[in-house]
């Protein structure tokens, strides 16, 4: 853990600012590709896609109508 | 420099006591949680909360108490994801859900953010006009100030400036005290849910949805994750990031409550509400000049906070998806695309507000509907990412109770967003 390393003195702590600390190895998506999702989730996302497109178009038509 | 009997060498500060270590670590981590929450009390939020108080008195205060844990749960997930991956939200959607969702999320975010920015500058223009400053002076000066805030090439300088602006919102508590609310009634209305007397009208439904929509906004998800990544928070910082988020959520809800109390003064004295600037002027003979000027200046502060955070959310997200350098640590010539997006958003929104006869009311309504449509789907992606064991492993994924709470939030938000969209598109539906 890079945050608080016990220093050379007993009962003392070194506190390092995150921006000055060593960079941690994070959870990386490199090489993983798109997330593996189950069929129900895939179908739900397709429905969500349709819903979002429909609502965005509806809002666009509404704005267009008001502006006219 | 010596801090709390500690000594600073070339890397870090040495302290002797455990509480000193905790306090110092928290002070170093503190920032993104407060900023994301308080910046959400932007000009639109000021208008919504003050309107709620002015039209319905203290009757809607309880909604804020309900929204407090929702804000915290959603933003805690964002902070956790940012710390675990060190990447922004837009980048994660792009990488884990493919180009279509990545681009669609980015397009929606940029569009709703830009519309919101127009409302922020409209508020600056309106509030300072009432104080006698021409929009042709106030809007360009505000835009230049907002650009100068970020181009110094220092994340910490920007963060400290914005935290100071957030803390200025403490003045809302002074204004609330100055208008002498009925504290016992306020406490009762906060703790006991209820609706205003009379029948449920479409304007009441709209206002309730607007309160929910203005308290949790899509840009917040993108902003806090990018901010946490920008600050390079470490795994061990998670508990402090959670505390930062909790403090931010609590402070924001308290400030929102103070705004409602200020609006309630208008309700008690029968002052009709058009917008916060008009209410401030109408309140002046009864509440004093301090309240009038305070309300107007706090409206400007809210707009400035909202503008810098929302523009940064757009710039970070665009930079992540494009693969550009996207950091406040970089000088302007080291990350030209990132700074161009920020400057472009601020400059274009400011320019639009100066165009005569721009339909600002239509922009405000469109922002609320667009954000309402986008928010539940944005949280769905957050929820899916926080269940991505392949990416996060067991340590960072949601626990089952997290998932139950979040799916409940998503269902409620979907219902509200449908209601909002239906009400705007079909205004006679509830009459």
Q: What's the pLDDT score for residue B2?
A: 35
Whether residues A35 and B391 touch (CB distance < 8 A) is answered with yes
b/e B107-142 (16+ beta carbons within 10 angstroms → b) = ebbbbbbbbbbbbbbbbbbbbbebeebebeebbeeb
The DSSP call for residue B151 is T
CA atoms within 13 A on the CB side of B46: 31
For the stretch B41-65, pLDDT in tens is: 999 899 999 999 999 999 999 999 9
Q: Which two tokens stand for residue B121?
A: 């500058």
Please name the member of B25, B84, B97 whose beta carbon is closest to the beta carbon of A26.
Answer: B84
What is the per-residue pLDDT across B349-384, written as a single tens digit (0 to 9) for each?
999 999 987 777 678 777 877 887 888 888 889 999
Query: For the segment B304-326, what is each residue's pLDDT rounded down to a tens digit?
Result: 999 999 999 999 999 999 989 99
Tell me the chain A residues in contact with residue B213 when contact means C-beta distances shorter than 8 Å: none
User: Tokens at residue B353, please?
Assistant: 């507000």
B79 touches chain A (CB under 8 A): no
Tell me the shortest Cα–Cα distance from B95 to chain A, in angstroms.
6
CB B315 within 8 A of CB B326: yes
User: How much is the pLDDT for B292?
Assistant: 94
Task: Give CA–CA dist B118/B346, Å, rounded.
Answer: 9
Contact A52 B374 (CB under 8 A): yes
* pLDDT tens string A4-57: 555 555 678 899 999 999 889 998 888 888 888 888 888 888 888 888 888 888
CB atoms under 10 Å from CB of B84, counted, come to 23
pLDDT at B429: 67
Higher pLDDT, B199 or B397: B397
- Which residues, including other chains, have CB under 8 Å from residue B398's CB and lie 6 or more apart? B77, B383, B386, B387, B406
Q: What is the pLDDT of residue B1?
A: 30
Q: Is the pLDDT of residue B177 over 80?
A: yes
Q: List pLDDT tens digits, range B262-305.
A: 999 999 999 988 888 889 999 999 999 999 999 999 999 999 99
pLDDT value at position B3?
36
**What sections of B216-359 are H helices per DSSP?**
218-230, 238-268, 276-287, 289-322, 336-353
**Calpha distance B300→B124 (Å, rounded):** 5
Supply the pTM of this predicted model.
0.91
- How far apart, in whole angstroms, are the C-alpha atoms of residue B281 and residue B292? 6
| A-to-B residue pairs, Cβ atoms closer than 8 angstroms | 135
How far is Cα B39 from Cα B31, in angstroms, rounded to an integer?
12
Considering only CB atoms, which chain B residues are within 8 Å of A35? 96-97, 384-385, 388, 390-391
Model confidence at B4: pLDDT above 60: no
Alpha helix (H) ranges present in B30-134?
32-39, 43-56, 61-85, 89-130
pLDDT at residue A31, as a whole number: 81
């Amino acid at each position: 853990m890079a945050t608080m390393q016990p220093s050379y003195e007993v009962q003392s702590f070194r506190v390092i600012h995150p921006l000055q600390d060593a960079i941690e190895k994070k959870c990386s998506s490199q090489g993983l590709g798109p997330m593996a999702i189950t069929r129900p989730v895939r179908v739900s996302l397709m429905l969500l896609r349709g819903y979002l497109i429909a609502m965005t178009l509806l809002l666009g038509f509404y704005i267009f109508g008001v502006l006219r | 420099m010596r801090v709390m009997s500690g000594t600073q060498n070339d890397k870090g500060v040495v302290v002797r006591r455990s509480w000193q270590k905790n306090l110092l670590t928290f002070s170093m981590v503190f920032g993104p949680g407060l900023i994301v929450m308080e910046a959400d009390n932007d000009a639109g939020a000021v208008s919504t909360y003050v309107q709620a108080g002015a039209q319905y008195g203290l009757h809607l205060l309880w909604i804020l108490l309900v929204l407090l844990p929702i804000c915290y749960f959603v933003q805690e997930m964002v902070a956790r994801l940012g710390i675990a991956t060190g990447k922004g939200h837009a980048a994660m959607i792009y990488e884990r859900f493919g180009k279509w969702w990545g681009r669609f999320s980015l397009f929606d975010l940029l569009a709703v953010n830009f519309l919101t920015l127009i409302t922020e500058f409209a508020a600056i223009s309106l509030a300072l006009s009432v104080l006698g400053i021409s929009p042709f002076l106030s809007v360009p000066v505000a835009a230049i100030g907002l650009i100068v805030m970020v181009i110094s090439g220092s994340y910490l300088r920007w963060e400290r400036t914005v935290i100071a602006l957030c803390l200025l919102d403490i003045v809302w508590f002074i204004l609330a005290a100055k208008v002498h609310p009925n504290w016992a009634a306020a406490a009762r209305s906060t703790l006991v849910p209820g609706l205003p007397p009379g029948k449920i009208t479409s304007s009441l439904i709209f206002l309730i949805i607007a309160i929910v929509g203005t308290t949790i906004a899509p840009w917040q998800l993108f902003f806090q994750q990018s901010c946490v990544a920008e600050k390079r928070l470490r795994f061990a910082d998670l508990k402090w990031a959670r505390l930062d988020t909790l403090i931010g959520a609590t402070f924001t809800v308290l400030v929102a409550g103070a705004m409602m109390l200020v609006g309630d003064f208008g309700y008690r004295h029968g002052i009709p509400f058009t917008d916060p600037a008009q209410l401030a002027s109408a309140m002046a003979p009864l509440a004093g000049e301090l309240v009038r000027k305070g309300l107007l200046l706090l409206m400007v502060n809210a707009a400035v906070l909202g503008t810098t955070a929302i523009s940064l959310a757009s710039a970070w997200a665009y930079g992540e998806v494009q693969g550009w350098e996207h950091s406040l640590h970089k000088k302007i010539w080291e990350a030209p695309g990132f700074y161009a997006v920020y400057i472009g958003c601020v400059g274009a929104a400011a320019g639009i507000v100066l165009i005569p006869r721009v339909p600002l009311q239509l922009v405000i309504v469109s922002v609320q509907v667009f954000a309402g449509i986008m928010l539940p789907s944005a949280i769905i992606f957050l929820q899916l990412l926080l269940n991505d064991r392949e990416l996060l492993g067991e340590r960072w994924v949601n626990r089952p109770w997290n998932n139950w709470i979040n799916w409940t939030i998503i269902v409620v938000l979907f219902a509200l967003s449908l209601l909002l969209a239906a009400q705007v598109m079909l205004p006679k539906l509830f009459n």
